[in-house]
Structure 1
Amino acid sequence: MKNTRKATLEDLEQLSALFDQYRIFYHKESDIPAAENFLKERIQNEDSEIFVVGDNGILTGFVQLYPIFSSTRMQRYWLLNDLYVNENHRGKGYSKELIEAAKDLCRSSNACGMLLETGKSNDVGNRLYPSCGFERYDSVNFYEWTNTMRNR
């Protein structure tokens, strides 16, 4: 994982641009200032763990994980919430490198595992995650409640 490291405030400009691309991919409007503010808060408040990957000082991707807990296992879990590699840099192993950094975080924090969600139509992700050791969990239904007063 020579190209992967934990994000810092010095990465905000490039990281915010990548995060904006990620949000656009998920049909959200571009808003780099809000993205920068959101990421700055996550880093400063240590609300999440963000790892970046790149070449020659240019960031090409990131992964963001949030801590959660399993009551039945009485241990920490990590939610792999965001994984993105710029489309011009895909197919070079950056996603797998970022996932390995996430696995290292799980090991170092003594977490019982990592959870993630991806769309059924995300063909790339649905091939990537099993190839990295993730198992699809079909025995539960996933539900979401959305606060329409706060939905952006």
Structure 2
Amino acid sequence: MNYNIKKANLNDLDETAELFNQYRIFYRQQDEYQKCKEFIKERLDNEQSNIFLVYVEGKTVGFIQLYKLYHYIKLEKQWLLSDLFVFPEYRGKGLSVALIDCAKKWCDETGACGLMLETEKTNEIGNRLYPRCGFEYDSNHNYYYWWK
């Protein structure tokens, strides 16, 4: 399948927001396109994340979003692979792998030590995909959240 990947900017806001909205719906969240658009705009305006879009025949069909973190053991920058989504009709065609490869290349380009991610235990697609892409499962840590 022919595709191309590019780094998103504010000119891509509408399609990026739609992808992000669909991603959230996949995770059982309400359809909130306008809030997603505001959220993505703020991330791009303030350079708080890096988003890469994948296109097939000129149509935006997926994205990956990375946030900068710092690794306390390696004492280096790393990227959090926060969000990865490809429209269902384009899955199984290597686009998620291509987006992950793009994120790995971004690590090289930005001098980061690597990528980390978290996904739901029930995310069968992701839990098969990530090991195929070289990610190692970390069973030694528990992740805790505090929400206000």
TM-score (norm. length: structure 2): 0.94
Ranges in structure 2 where 5+ consecutive residues have no aligned partner: none
Task: Give ranges in structure 1 of 5+ residues lacking alignment.
Answer: 148-152
Contact 2:68 2:78 (C-alpha < 8 Å) held by counterparts:
yes
Q: Deviations over 1:6-40 (max 9, x none)?
A: 01212111111111111111111111111111111
Q: Provide the residue aligned with 2:49 in structure 1.
A: 48
RMSD of the TM alignment (CA)? 1.3
Instruction: State the partner residue of 1:92.
Output: 93
- Report the identity percentage: 46
Structure 1 match to 2:114: 113
TM-score, normalised by the number of residues in structure 1: 0.92
CA contact (8 A) 2:62 2:87 kept: yes
The worse-fitting range, judged by mean Cα deviation, of 43-52 and 8-17 is 8-17
Is residue 136 of structure 1 aligned with residue 99 of structure 2? Answer: no
1:60 maps to 2:49? no
Query: Alignment partner of 2:68: what SS?
Result: strand
After superposition, the C-alpha distances for 1:64-99 in whole angstroms (9 at most, x for unaligned) are 010000122210011000000011111111100100
Give the Cα–Cα distance (whole angstroms) in 2 for the partners of residues 2 and 30 of structure 1: 27
1:21 maps to what in 2? 22
**Aligned residue for 1:70?**
71
CA distance in 1, matches of 2:53, 2:115: 18
Kindly provide the amino acid, as one letter, of the partner of residue 11 in structure 1.
D
Alignment size in residue pairs: 147
The answer on 1:33 being equivalent to 2:2 is: no
